[in-house]
Structure formats: structure tokens, C-alpha cells
A and B are shown apart, each in its own frame.
Chain A
Amino acid sequence: MAETVTQHPALTMPASAGADLLRVQGLSLAMPGADGPVTVVQELDLAVRAGETVALVGESGSGKSVTALAITRLLDDTGGRITAGRIDFTTRDGARLDLVALDDAAMRRLRGAEIGMVFQEPMTSLNPVMRVDEQIAEAIRLHRGMDDAAALAEAKRLLDRVRVADAPRQLQRFPFELSGGMRQRVMIALAISCRPRLLIADEPTTALDVTVQAQVLRLLRELQAEYGMGLLFITHDMGVVAEIADRVAVLQRGRCVEQNETAALFAAPSHAYTRMLLDAVPMLGALADEALPRSFAKDSLPQDTVTPGAAPVLEVRGIATRFPVRRGLRLRGRVHAVEQVSFAVRPGETLGLVGESGCGKSTTGRSIVRLELPDEGQVLLEGTDISRPSGADLARLHREIQVVFQDPYAALNPRLTLGYSIAEPIRTHGLAKGDAIEARVRSLLADVGLPAEFAQRYPHELSGGQRQRVCIARALASEPKLIIADEAVAALDVSIRAQVVNLLMDLQRRHRLAMLFISHDMAVVERVSHRVAVMYLGQIVEIGPRQAVMQTPQHAYTQRLLAAVPIPDPARRRALPPVAEGEVPSPMRRLEDAPIVAPLVRVGPDHFVARHSVGGLY
């Protein structure tokens, strides 16, 4: 039995009914607010059985993380309060406890020992001044009564179990010396170190790259089967839900609107909010049979905005951007962030630039607008070389290319009205004067679907999606020919994300905008791009028409990337995702060790692939 389970954890059936490990009944939670306590979760019912995975799904502010904190009673530390309900938990020795009624000492005996938790942010969830070994061993000594040496040996065994390569050396390291994926493995090792009966994972893969996410999801499934743990998996990502969950509970503003078996919920969502969530999720492969991009809007038309043979707006020829790494005064090496990157974008065309964190996609965008200065290569704006720009060239560059950044909270000055922020490029470039400026601001706000009175408001009065619309309006203010969208929808909730993507595509249609769409999200890129370029270790390894690159990927890295994307369809759940283990090599190299670069090879119409070794991949 155990063997079968290890091989096909996805097929594990929930243990027999009645043996609820965790049963939450009528749970209501309040957090302190400016005008007294605010109810953030209302009358929630939830059950997790041993060996079962329950996903708690919702957008930001739905109350899913607070629920996890309530179950662990860490909510007390945040100032939050349980106002009603009970949380029954069956311990290892069969006792059934209402966690709401336990004091801190009793809860401490459960935390770590019977309930483990993995948090979202592996970068900040480990103590930065403590070595990995002590962080794991501490919990083992506490709950399993082992001495120092035994606890350390157990910590090493656990790191091996979560497949951290070279465990003895990693144990001696500090968290900042490990990659995000490694840190999350350490977090998981820590969470399972005392063989908890319930594991709560709060967005454990959200901060990770998609290939690392696939590795971590697989690991969680294996461990769950091995230990027979109940797994409460909190996420906003329906794709991940489809991959991992047996049952799903959907939260909307603190209320559970629907709860069902995963397959049934995806096949026939009964609540409007669930349907909306599912509709808004971009599904990779949705446009497999279409050549042109198409927005998420209900009656969307193919985005036929590119004139064949038109001269490119932007042409990038062999740019390279490298950052020196110094130790003391001596130059020790270089980070080859961008290495010999070439591409062109035509009017009305969207080029999707995809890759994982550190691949150089953002640096490429920043190098085009000279936020970083490239060491080599040329950038041509409508045929004019602006690599060594005059003052007039720079003004033109800043007018005709605009950037929309990832974080709409950080991209707007909190002390300026939105109208002022949008008007600034109009003034800077002298595009209008006097009352005409105000009229232009109003029309730009209308363009992005915001009311004119927003001009008088300040950023903090808006939601994330609204702010990103303002950033887009500001980008449009100088009447650019090209928009660089650098992860512009990554920070938004799925429903908002779809709206903003629709807006960008609508604007492209109306203004014949060219777009460089930088993103790690393959499903969104599929929706918006006419062509796709895949970056790996600073180089473009594959570029071509979107359909060709995504349906018939030629480069090993493109294939790996596409295979790792979770599919929001439980019917297509793979027994075990074909995951390549191991880490992406570092783009930092010693001085004398230059990376191999070579021209791409044509494999189809307008479709080019790297046939030289990039980080060992072909």
C-alpha cells in the first residue's frame, strides 16, 4: 500500500470519513482596524482529514491567511481575535481538542509537533543571523527530546529528504546564502521535522519561479503521502489548486461561498464568484489553435494589429549589459545579466519576453530605456541608433517608449495627485498647454476606464488595479509608440489581472501600440503576444511566433518552462509532473570565463533557436 502511495500520491484517496483531523465550525475572526475591530472571516466551516489536501482559495483580503493564523493561534500575536466558533483538532494520541480554548502553553506543544506550517516568503521566513542547522535542530530538540548531536543528524536527514543537494554544507549556511527554492525546502524540512499530523502551507510557491514551484509542489505531495498528513493549502492560484487539492473551499471577503471536491468544483462551479475566478484564470494552451492573441473579454476578437512588412518601431541589436562584481577594490567577475540580445518589435505588435527570475528580462527592458547602460550593442528607435544619444535623442526616447512597472504601489508618488502624475509627461514634453493639459488628463483617465474626478485623488485612495490603470494612463500621456510592460500584471489579483490585460490589448488596438510584454507568467503571455522570446541566463534561447514557440518549443529550456506551468484543470492532472530537479546556474562568472554566445539558428518561419550551450542546455 505504502509503495503505491509513494508512486502516485495524486491518487491517494482521503481516509475514511468521520476521521476529521481538523474541523473548523462557525469560525469568525476580527482584526484591529482604525475604527475598532473589523470582521475578516465570518462563520467559516472547514474540515481536513488525514491524508487529504484541502485548498483554501481566494483573492487578496479574502481572509485565507488569517484563517491559517487562527488555526495555529498565532493570530493572538498579530492583535487579531477569534470572536466565534471552534477549531477541533485530533492529536496523535487521539485526544480531541478545541484549539480556541487552549492557552499558549498547550498550543506550543502542538505547534511544530502536531501542526506544521510553511509560509509564503522563503526570503524572510528564516532567521537571517542563524545557521540553517540550528533553525531546524531547535524544533527537533524541543519536541522530540533529542540531544544536540541527534538533532543535527536528524536535520541533515531531513534536508536530504527534501532533496537539498549537499546537505552537510547547506546546514552550515545562513539563509541569505541560499536561493529562494532552497530556502523554501529548508522551510518545509523545518515544518515536517516533528512529523506533524497537519501541515498548513500558506502560498508556499507564490514567490517561486514556475520550475521551482513544480519541484516544491511535487515534494509536498510526496511528503504528504509518506507521512499521511492532512494538508491545508492556501493559494490564490487555481492552476496550483487543480494540481494538488482533493477538495476546495472558496473564500470571498471572509465568507466561504463554495466548498466541493476539486473535480466537481472545476467542472460545475455553483457560485458566481467561483465561476468568475475560474474564467479569469488564464489557461496555458487556451489559444493553441489560434495564431493571433485574443483578450480575456467574453466576445474578444483576434488581435490583428500588425501590418506585415511594416518597419519595426524598436530594434535591439546584440545588446549586452553586465554588472561588475567587486571584492574590495579588485574586479572579481561579472554578472552577465544580458548577453547578445537581439529582437525587433513592429507597430501594433506585442513581443512577450519570458523567463524566470534573474534571466535578464527586466534588465533588457531597462537597458532599452537607458535605466541601465548597456556595455555593447545598438538600440534603434524607428531606425535611428540611440545607443549614444544626443539630448534630442533622449527626449525622443523618453517620449516614444514608456514603461509600466510591476508594483503600482511604489510607482506613484504618494504625495502627488494622480492628475499631476499623469500630466507630468505632457508638461515635460510640451505636448499641451494650459487647460488643454487638464482635458488631456481627463481623456487619458477615460481611456483606461477611470472617472475624471480621480485626477484630484491620491494613490492611497485607490485599489491596486486602479493604480495600475493610472500608471498606464501616465505611460500613454506622452503618446508613445512602444510600451514596455515589466511584469505589469504580476502583482494583481486574477480577476483584476484579466481586466488590465484586456485594457492593454484594447489600447493596442486603438493606438497601434507596440508592446514589449515582460512576464514570467506563460499563460498571460500566450494571451497577449504575437511573438515570444524566451530568455535564459541572459540570452534569448528561442524566439518566434507565439503559436510556434508555445506549441512546438524547440529549446530544452522552453520545454522545461512550459511543462512546469500548472494547468487549472484537474482532469489533466499529471500523476507526477515531469520535473527537472536542480537549480538554474548563476549568471555570475569570473572575468576570464565568458559565456558562449552564437547566432540563433532558424528552425521555422521567423522561428529561431539557440543551438549552442546556454548553461548546459540546448
Chain B
Amino acid sequence: MLSYLLRRLAGSLPVLLAVSIFVFGFVHALPGDPARLQAGPEASPAEIEAIRADMGLDGPIWSQYLRWAGHTVQGQLGVSTKTRQPVAQVIGERFWPTMWLTLVSMVWSTVLGVGLGVFSALRRGSAADQASMVVAISGVSFPSFWLGLLLIDLFSVQLGWLPTGGYGTWQHYVMPSFTLGIGVAAVMARFTRSAFVEVAREDFVRTARMKGLSRSVVAWKHTLRNALIPVITLTGLQFGFLLGGAIVVETVFSWPGLGRLLVDSVSFRDYPVIQAEIMLFSVEFLLINLGVDLLYAAANPEIRLS
């Protein structure tokens, strides 16, 4: 078990290396010159050059990369070019708001999605099944920025029930989390439904019915456990989707998280923050996938025991 974990972690290193090269390359390919932005409109060319050297943006691109990669490995993420605060501190402040928002969204959307999927599968072809799948498709189809604005207009502006944005109490979570999770819930519902329908046709489900078990015991005890195995894999992918979705939702709801930080950093060409943040997303994604594989093995004895 431990050796499996270590092997998996070691296997992640080449992925991180590749990601770091891409991130660095893309960020530096962005149009715009951070030194000029930093220096302001009045600065002379000599001043701009001095700032450029100070920011570590002089010399050929590969040597810039090596310098950055070397520092990153040692845990020195540098200083934000915008606020002059250490990058670790900037990201640290924003980490938990995003993490909580993502986790809360993940939990409710998975529970609701799986539940709705099973509900539909059990009533396959009925009006209830079709209605819930229409809801599910709509859930995927709503652009989250638009849905977010609609919710703000209704619940905050007109009804005054919920705050328009910000972070702090549980009321602050309701709309952002709903906006973020609804797409995931919809995908989960559709996927669970089809996995469940497929498993329900299997021979062992017939065996379970032949024991005299009721339809609901067969569904929850025999069918669902098998249907959840592919759903677990999907959960990992959806988690990545949520991290990405947070960028839009946090902007709409002024959520003080990593997503908004990324948007702000990109518009200010704050290279150290952008790079550190995308590396953080990659590490999170790798860890989630590792967790998903472990869960997958836990749910599937054939994988676990071989």
C-alpha cells in the first residue's frame, strides 16, 4: 500500500515538470510587458530595464525558467510584482475560501446528482425520469456567469434574502456554491443514471431478485455499489472542473479566492502569482486523482486484491 503510494507520487513528478514548462511558456507568451506595467507610464527605458532585471525577466527564456524552477523546488515562490507581498502569503490567504467553496459544492452536487440519477434510473422512461433529465440538461447548459447574475438579481436585489457577494457566513455560500455545483450535479445525475441502468441489466441483479429481495434492496445494496465504481472516476474529473469553474463564480460573487486572484494576476501580468497558482492547481489535481484511484480500489475488490 505504502509502496503503491510512493510509486504513484514518484510517477507524478514528470507530469509536474511538463506542467511547469507549459505554464512558464504560456505565461511568458502573454502579450504585455510586466516591467513596463510595473514602472508606470512615465518611466524611462533605463528605469524599465532596471525593473526588468529586478523581476528576474532578463536573459534568455530558458535561464529564466531554470531560475524560477530552482526557486520553486526550494519553496521560494518569489514576490508578487503587484503587491510586493510574498507569493506564498498571497496564495495562502486565498486558498481556504476556494477550497471550502469547492468542497461544499462538490459534496452537495455529488449527493444530489447520484440521488437524482438513481431516482431516474429506477423510473426509467417515466415522466419523472424525463423531467429530471430535462432539469439535468438545463443544469449543464446554463452559463454560470449568467445564472449567477440571475440569482443575485432575484435573491439579493429583489427579495433581499442573501448577500450579493463576499465571504464569511453560510448565507454567503448559498448562491456561489449553487452556481458552481449545478453543472456537476447535472453531469453526475446523467452519468449515474446510465451506469445504474447498465448494471441493472446484469445477471447478478436478477440473481438478487431471485432471492426474493425487494426492488429497493436490490437497487441500493446490489446495483448501486456496482454502478458507483465508474461514478468515482468521474468525481475526480469533476473536481478539476470545479476548480476551473471557481474562476468565473468567484468573480461574479466577489469571492476572495484563488479564482479571482488568478483573474486579477493575469490582468496585471503578475507572473510569479500566476505560475505559482497554476502549479498549485496541478498538484491539487494530481492528488485528487490519486485519491480517486485509491477510492476506486476500495470500491472494487478485483482491483484491490490484485
Contacts and interface: CB of A to CB of B under 8 A. Distances in A.
Interface string A135-169: 00011001100000000000000000000000000
A127 B222 contact: yes
Nearest to A187: B207
Interface string A40-60: 000000000000000000000
Interface stretch (A102-110, A255-263, A542-550): A102-110
Interface in B109-154: none
B206 A119 contact: yes
Contacts of A143: 212
Contacts of B209: 74, 77, 111
Given A174-B305, A328-B3, A127 B213 contact: no
B211 A190 contact: yes
Interface size class, chain B: 20 to 34
B211 A138 contact: yes
A177 B305 contact: yes
Interface size class, chain A: 20 to 34
A70 B4 CA distance: 49
Interface string B166-210: 000000000000000000000000000000000000111011111
B212 A139 contact: yes
A125 interface: yes
Nearest to A126: B204
B212 A127 contact: no
A176 B211 contact: no
Contacts of B222: 127, 130
Contacts, number: 76
A117 B302 CA distance: 26
B226 interface: yes
B210 A74 contact: yes
Contacts of B301: 128-129, 174, 176
Contact of B225 (A109, A111, A129, A142): A129
* Residue from A117, A129, A130 whose CB has the most chain B CB atoms within 10 Å: A129
A127 B223 CA distance: 9
Given A130-B222, A174-B302, A177-B305, A108 B213 contact: yes
Contacts of B202: 124
Interface in A92-125: 104-105, 108-113, 116-117, 119, 121, 124-125
The SS class assigned to the B binding surface is helix
B215 interface: yes
A176 B303 CA distance: 11
A142 B211 contact: yes
A363 interface: no
B214 interface: yes
A108 B212 contact: yes
Contact of B212 (A121, A126, A142): A142
Contact of B210 (A104, A117, A128): A117
A186 to B, nearest CB: 10
Nearest to B299: A129
Nearest to A121: B203
A274 interface: no
B300 interface: yes
Given A126-B204, A129-B226, A72 B214 contact: no
A77 B301 CA distance: 28
A428 to B, nearest CB: 38
B210 A72 contact: yes
A72 B208 CA distance: 13
**Which 8 residue pairs are nearest across A and B when measured between Cβ atoms?**
A112-B212, A111-B212, A139-B211, A124-B203, A112-B211, A125-B203, A127-B204, A174-B301
19 contacts: A104-B214, A104-B215, A109-B212, A112-B212, A117-B210, A121-B203, A126-B207, A127-B208, A127-B225, A128-B301, A129-B229, A138-B211, A139-B211, A142-B211, A142-B213, A143-B212, A174-B301, A174-B302, A187-B207
Interface of B: 3-4, 7, 202-204, 206-215, 222, 225-226, 229, 299-302, 305
Given A77-B206, A112-B211, A124-B204, 11 more contacts: A109-B212, A111-B209, A113-B212, A125-B206, A127-B226, A128-B226, A129-B226, A129-B229, A138-B213, A190-B211, A328-B3
